[in-house]
Amino acid sequence: IHDFTTQVLQRVSGTGTFIGPWFTGMNYLMTCDPMNVHHMMSKNFVNYEKGHEFREIFEAFGDGIFTADSETWKYHRTLLHSLFKTRSFEEFLEKIVRTKVENCLLPLLDHVEREGVEVDFQDVFNRFNFDTICSTVLGSDPNCLSIDFPEVACERAFNEAEEFIFYRHTVPKSFWKLQRWLGIGPEKKNAKACEVFDKFLYESIASKREQLNKKDEKENDDLLTCLMREEEGKEHVDDKFLRDTAFNLFVAGRDTITSALTWFFWLVAKHPSVEAKILQEIKQEKEVKSQVYLHAALCEALRLYPPIPFESKQAIKQDMLPSGHEVGPRTTILLSLYALGRSEETWGKDCLEFKPERWISGKGGIVHIPSYKFISFNAGPRTCLGKDLSFIQMKIMATSILKSYHIQVVEDYPISPTLSIVLLMKHGLKVRVIKRD
């Protein structure tokens, strides 16, 4: 569907109207025009919100940052910004990631190599990231990543709840609402998954409160503890508020990084010259922040395969987009991040090629590309809050793996994207790992 959308948008110069059959009520304006993106995300930001319909579809997100608008969003944004953008939080995350790599990821890959078996890298990254996000947000590690690939109920429930959201995008509102009311079909499965995941979150919150009340907490730096400490006594900081914040951070931080790393490793496996250049850089640069070529290769993977392939916005008042399209109040606008990353007008004739070099300037630094063109981390006031942290984590993981192993994708393995709100691989990424000398 993403490639199809890209082709259609190219034919209509980047913006067009999509009207579903009359009974579906599905009328959208679709765009991948960077000027429209700049207009909606930055210049006239106040006129474009997520809107009520978005909140209905993304019900499981509650009142967290992803679905919030206006004052509620500002409150969440300021709060999370103050927690994320500190040196100590960056160090806390880096320590968690490095420990997990040393204690779990590398031993698991050693085992896989010794046994000579195939492994699904997407599953490995998903498990790694679930453990990492649990440690970062809740301060505890469920150990999903281990050589026996255990089935962890809360992780599975989270996967199901997330996959389900796409379903609500594809059927008329009245249809899913009826299914929800009757408790049947995918709605029933989703309600069960949410119940399991909510139980896990509420239990974690309760045990944190107990620790804080007893004042026997160790020096905990996890986000939930920081939030409880800083916002103590504020009326709205109840269990529901903490649940919603945690859920939003799980979605933000888990599948996005899984998606980015899975497509990155697939692209690197298909481009041996890129792999050789990354390895050469790893030998020279010990600090992840100085690895320019690896940074460029990750940006290139994110351009071609943006983990969040589309976003939706709703206009509040009548407006005119730079492309000349009129939008009325409550018009839903779908932005195809996927199509924008593959637009010939923005990226040139070689837009479909994987070329990290396009990100490197003559002076050897990273070329600055405005976020309304490289939109994988969103643009304007709602730019992703975890962008810098993501690069640190992805670079540590990519360096640790590539330094020790050559990755070989299983021949003829089917590679195609899922139909979901996050661009994962439908069949995972089956690989063999070969130890380097």
Annotated binding site for heme: 384
Interaction of residue 2 with ligand HEM, rule CB under 6 A: no
Contact in structure between 232 and 115 (CB atoms under 8 Å): no
Q: Which stretch binds ligand HEM (CB under 6 A): 115-123, 161-169, 175-183, 376-384?
A: 376-384
Q: Please report whether residue 389 would count as binding ligand HEM according to CB under 6 A.
A: yes
Helix (H, G, I), strand (E, B) or coil at 414: coil
Q: Single out the residue of 14, 34, 139, 386 in contact with ligand HEM (rule: CB under 6 A).
A: 386
Binding residues for ligand HEM, rule CB under 6 A, total: 23
List residues bridging with 336 in a β-sheet. 310
Rounded to a whole number of angstroms, the minimum distance from the CB of residue 417 to ligand HEM is 15
Phi, psi (5° rounding) for residue 265? -65, -35
Cα dist from 434 to 178, 349, 402, 411, whole Å: 52, 35, 10, 15
Which residues are bridge partners to 360 per DSSP?
366
Specify whether the CB–CB gap between 270 and 409 falls below 8 A: yes
Contacts of residue 377, Cβ cutoff 8 Å, sequence gap at least 6: 302, 371, 383, 384, 387, 390
390: nearest Cα among 255, 242, 201: 255
Q: Is 376 among the residues that bind ligand HEM (CB under 6 A)? A: yes
Alpha-carbon torsion (296, 298, 301, 305), positive or negative:
negative
Q: Which residue is nearest to ligand HEM (CB)?
A: 386
Q: How far is the CB of 379 from ligand HEM (least distance, A)?
A: 9
State the nearest-atom distance from the C-beta of 423 to ligand HEM, in Å: 9
Closest to ligand HEM by CB, 48 or 179: 48
Quick one: which H or E segment has residue 66? none
Q: Considering only residues 278-337, where is the footprint of ligand HEM by CB under 6 A?
A: 302, 307-308, 311
Q: Which is nearer to ligand HEM, 51 or 322 (CB)?
A: 51
Is residue 378 involved in binding ligand HEM (CB under 6 A)?
yes
The reply to whether 258 sits near ligand HEM by the rule CB under 6 A is no
Q: For residues 36-55, which are near ligand HEM according to CB under 6 A?
A: none
Which residues of the chain form contacts with ligand HEM (CB under 6 A)?
Answer: 65-66, 77, 80, 249, 252-253, 256-257, 260, 302, 307-308, 311, 376-378, 382, 384-386, 389-390
